[in-house]
């Protein structure tokens, strides 16, 4: 019985080991390392099964990418006291700002480590490069009625070693970090310096309404890295910085390898080297009276509902916003000889749907400072921020026919506007656009600090700039000359909902919207037909 069992076991094992080759295909598989269970060298607790270790090629630990960000805002200080000091003692004003604490903060980068290894499996494939080709011929009748033989090469099928890459979760990792801003060197940045700006005494200072997003990244690739290369970068960067990675305890600078349950601590120091051009700041907020009492951002115009009854909230007629940077920015403009500085406010109307806010503005209105700032009692306020602010009142609904000056007028579709513009005025090529009933809307308020040289300017306002000349494409190839890049990135958003029974709309918006959609559909259909007819990818 024992002999019989041994013979059966040997036969079964032999059949199993040779079953994959029973089809008489070429076999190019070579077993260099036999399957065997392995304990991971890099991830404690992971055992690699024998079924995934044939021709084992090695293992490694990879860490995923991680980043953390912080939005930096201006440091608060007594601006009126500083202005008084500046008027009598410039060096004293310089030292007053230099005593402000440097921005410092800590955070944590959280990421994962994965164990990766490679091995080879013997698999059947059909591939000309790996298995070669064989010629297949057949006899066919050509157009002349003659018999001829036609041959073509076909890929052969064989057994070859295929590289298999495996990955399993190992552990959660973290790296603590610290960001330190350092004041610019006093020997290189002081009131005696030719281009010194008093308001930016520390070098890294932010002006009212400005934001600077600082991003700390562990430097790992998208697919994971064996070694970390931490870095710092910015969004809406205000200064050119000298970035130094700290290497004094408890900070680690070198040998930041991906390790299981690692707990590194890294640090960066940032010293401003020079101010660079950036997008305008935006310090507009919900308005307040001189005594600090909040004011309504929207003043509504009454309108009749569908039954003829007058409703108090027909549609927003006036927008009120407070510019808390008003005096500070005008003082900065005077100090830097930007005497023609003024603010342009852009108000964009967005419609909210059940699927979210539509990505395009329904209408846009532009208002300049001189036409919107209104007289107030702010100068009598006990609060310095209110004393130095300005109240804007913008008429959203007015008698002006140009859509850039009236929120409730929009242009006809572009394919009608541009040809007709040769004959008609812009005002004539617009129509009234009233709000939909029972609809959620958002007003997005952004700013453009026109004439202030530290901010991006349009070619219209800097016609002599080199990239605004004809040989540079009049600014077409300079992204910072585009409106969405010189208006502020941060916005003041005001939401409201229209009454369900107030409908002041005419048929014109529906007609023009339908024409616009039909035109876009026609363009999309033409492109599709062009692709399908020419078999384009």
- Quick one: which H or E segment has residue 527? helix 508-533
In this prediction, residue 323 carries a pLDDT of: 97
Q: Decide: 317 and 297 in contact? Cβ < 8 Å.
A: no
pLDDT bracket for residue 22 (50, 70, 90): low
How many Cα atoms sit within 13 Å of 396 on the Cβ side? 25
Of the listed ranges 252-256, 478-482, 503-507, the one predicted with least confidence:
503-507
pLDDT in tens, 66-85: 999 999 999 999 999 999 99
Query: Which sequence spans correspond to the domains of the chain?
Result: 63-113+171-275, 284-505, 507-537
Residue 13 confidence (pLDDT) = 37
Number of helices and strands in the chain (H, E)? 10, 25
* DSSP state for residue 429 in the 8-state scheme: G
pLDDT tens column, 31-43: 999 999 999 999 9
The C-alpha atoms of residue 250 and residue 440 are separated, in whole angstroms, by 52
299-303, 335-339, 501-505: range with highest mean pLDDT? 299-303
Q: Taking a C-beta distance cutoff of 8 angstroms, is the pair 284, 321 a contact?
A: yes
Q: Are 316 and 297 in contact (CB under 8 A)?
A: no
Using CA atoms, how far apart are residues 329 and 148, in angstroms rounded to an integer?
Answer: 89
Alpha-carbon gap, residue 270 to 136, rounded angstroms:
70
DSSP letter string over 459-483? TTT-TTSGGGSGGGTTTTT-GGGSH
pTM here? 0.83
- Among the listed residues 271, 194, 259, the one whose alpha carbon sits nearest the alpha carbon of residue 227: 259
pLDDT for the residue numbered 12: 39
Question: Quick check: bond before 424 cis, omega within 30?
Answer: no
Q: What pLDDT score was predicted for residue 15?
A: 40
The model's confidence at residue 356, banded by pLDDT at 50, 70 and 90, is confident
The per-residue pLDDT for range 362-412, each reduced to its tens digit, is: 999 999 998 999 989 998 899 999 999 999 999 999 888 899 999 999 998
Residues 6+ apart with CB under 8 A from 9: none
The two structure tokens encoding residue 471 = 């040989």
Between 146 and 186, name the one with better pLDDT. Answer: 186
pLDDT digits (tens, 9 = 90+) for 276-296: 999 999 999 999 999 999 999
Q: How many alpha carbons fall within 13 Å on the CB side of residue 96?
A: 18
Q: What is the pLDDT of residues 158-186, one digit of tens each?
A: 999 999 999 999 999 999 999 999 999 99
Does residue 112 contact residue 169 with C-beta atoms inside 8 Å? Answer: yes
76, two tokens: 């608060």
């Amino acid at each position: 019985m024992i002999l019989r069992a041994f013979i059966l076991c040997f036969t079964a094992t032999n059949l199993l080991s040779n079953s994959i080759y029973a089809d008489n295909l070429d076999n190019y598989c070579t077993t260099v390392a036999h399957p065997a269970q392995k304990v991971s060298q890099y991830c404690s607790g992971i055992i690699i099964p024998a079924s995934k270790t044939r021709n084992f090629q090695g293992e490694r630990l990879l860490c995923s990418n991680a980043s953390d960000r912080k939005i930096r805002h201006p440091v608060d200080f007594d601006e009126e006291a500083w202005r008084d000091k500046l008027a009598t003692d410039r060096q004293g004003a310089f030292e007053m700002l230099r005593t402000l604490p440097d921005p410092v903060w800590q955070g944590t980068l959280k990421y994962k480590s994965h164990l990766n290894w490679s091995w080879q499996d013997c698999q059947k494939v059909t591939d000309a490069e790996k298995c070669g080709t064989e010629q297949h011929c057949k006899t066919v009748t050509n157009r002349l009625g003659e018999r001829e033989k036609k041959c073509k090469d076909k890929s052969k099928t064989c057994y070859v070693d295929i590289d298999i890459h495996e990955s399993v979760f190992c552990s959660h990792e973290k790296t603590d970090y610290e960001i330190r801003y350092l004041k610019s060197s006093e020997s290189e940045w002081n009131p005696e310096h030719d281009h010194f700006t008093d308001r930016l005494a520390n070098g890294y200072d932010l002006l009212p309404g400005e934001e600077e997003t600082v991003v700390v990244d562990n430097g790992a690739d998208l697919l994971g890295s064996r070694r970390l290369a931490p870095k710092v970068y910015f969004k809406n960067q205000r200064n050119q910085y000298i970035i130094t990675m700290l290497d004094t305890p408890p900070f680690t600078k070198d040998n930041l390898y991906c390790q299981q349950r690692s707990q590194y601590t890294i640090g960066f120091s940032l010293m401003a080297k020079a101010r660079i051009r950036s997008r305008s700041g935006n310090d507009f907020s919900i308005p307040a009276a001189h005594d600090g009492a909040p004011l309504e951002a929207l003043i509504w115009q009454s309108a009749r509902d569908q039954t003829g009854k007058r409703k108090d909230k027909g549609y927003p007629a006036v927008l009120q916003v407070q510019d808390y940077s008003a005096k500070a920015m005008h003082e900065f403009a005077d100090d830097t000889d930007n005497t023609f500085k003024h603010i342009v406010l852009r108000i964009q109307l967005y419609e909210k749907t059940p699927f979210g806010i539509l990505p395009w503005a329904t209408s846009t209105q532009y208002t300049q400072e001189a036409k919107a700032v209104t007289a107030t009692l702010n100068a009598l306020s006990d609060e310095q921020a209110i004393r130095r602010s300005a109240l804007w009142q913008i008429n959203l609904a007015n008698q002006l026919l140009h859509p850039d000056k009236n929120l409730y007028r929009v242009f006809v579709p572009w394919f009608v506007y541009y040809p007709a513009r040769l004959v008609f005025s812009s005002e004539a090529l617009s129509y009234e656009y009233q709000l939909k009933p029972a609809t959620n809307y958002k007003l997005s308020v952004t700013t453009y600090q026109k004439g202030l040289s530290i901010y991006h300017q349009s070619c219209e306002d800097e016609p002599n700039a080199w990239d605004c000349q004809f040989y540079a494409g009049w600014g077409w190839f300079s992204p910072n000359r585009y409106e969405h890049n010189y208006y502020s990135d941060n916005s003041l958003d005001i939401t409201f909902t229209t009454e369900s029974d107030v409908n002041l709309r005419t048929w014109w918006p529906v007609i023009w919207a339908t024409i616009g959609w039909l035109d876009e559909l026609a363009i999309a259909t033409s492109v599709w037909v062009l692709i399908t007819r020419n078999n384009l990818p």
